[in-house]
Amino acid sequence: MKRSKFWILMLVPTFALVFFVNLYPLVRGGVISFQRLTVFNLNNPRFVGWNNYRTILNDPAFPRLLWNTFVWIACSVAFQFLFGLILALLLAKPFFGRGLYMGLVFYPWALSGFAIGLLWSWLLNGQFGIVNDVLIRLGLLKTPIGFLSDERFAMFSVILVNVWYGIPFFAIMLLAAIQSIPSELYEAAQIDGAGFFRKLFSVTLPYIRPTIYSTVLLRIIWVMNFPDIIYGMTRGGPAGATNILSVQMINIVYYRNNFGLASALGMIITAILTIFAVIYLTLLERGEFEL
């Protein structure tokens, strides 16, 4: 009996940390989402029921927010995975200077997303950006392009930067999984006369399938909750062309000072991700889709 109490006491700090770091902010955010809480009534919030949720869902801009978020996630994760896999395959075999090359390739992952957004906003600036200058000098453009100020190019530009930023994550995770594949499998495939693509689709991808499934799910969640790059580059503009749900939540806080409305949007994002994760994991368990 004393031994069981001792173990319970040992677990108390862990449960307390999980509660205050993870559960309390979630519960508190849920409570605020049902209140009218602004900078003008911080000490006297008023319960407003579902009004904040109705305001967000009835906003004419909400469908576009959902579509922009879908495009942002789908294009970012798809190309990050594709180029990350290619990079992992190239780095799987040892070559001279491999360590230095890996350090140079993976360094973007160590940088702040907001700082990267600011950096690329200068590079892609339509008036003095170096990218326009290089393209004009190469004869590929006659006049500068407003990469971030033109609705036709803005979403493409922020996705391009996010793909560049996220490739190292997939490359690191997939490279670790590829290096765990027993060499006997490749030797057996070689004896059977398998070529590169046969080995890729019959040995490599099936063996690293669990890593792919988990990293794709994690990356989708992170990208949906990752407003740093967009906020640093466009803040959701021009005219909402790059506005996604997480960026809209920040804009509500900074420009409208309405914490209740922002919390309601945050709870909607949480609900969407929870439903997606449940469906994704359920389909995986049933084997509905396989590589």
Give how far Cα 262 sits from Cα of 32, 41, 204, 248, Å.
Answer: 9, 15, 44, 8
Query: What pLDDT is attached to residue 2?
Result: 65
Query: What pLDDT is attached to residue 136?
Result: 92
Rounded Cα–Cα distance for residues 226 and 6 (Å): 41
Rounded mean pLDDT for each run of 10 residues along the chain, 291 residues in total: 76 86 88 91 88 94 95 96 93 81 79 89 90 92 89 94 92 91 89 88 91 93 91 89 94 91 94 94 75 54
Query: What pLDDT is attached to residue 105?
Result: 78
| Encoded tokens for 18 | 């999980």
First-residue to last-residue Cα distance in the chain = 50
pTM for the full predicted model: 0.88
Residue of 109, 108, 148, 112 whose CA lies nearest to 128:
148
- As to burial, measured by CB atoms within 10 angstroms (0-12 exposed, 13-18 middle, 19+ buried), residue 222 is middle
Query: What pLDDT is attached to residue 21?
Result: 84
Q: Domains of the chain by range and CATH?
A: 67-263 (1.10.3720.10)
Q: With contact defined as beta carbons under 8 Å apart, do 145 and 160 qualify?
A: no
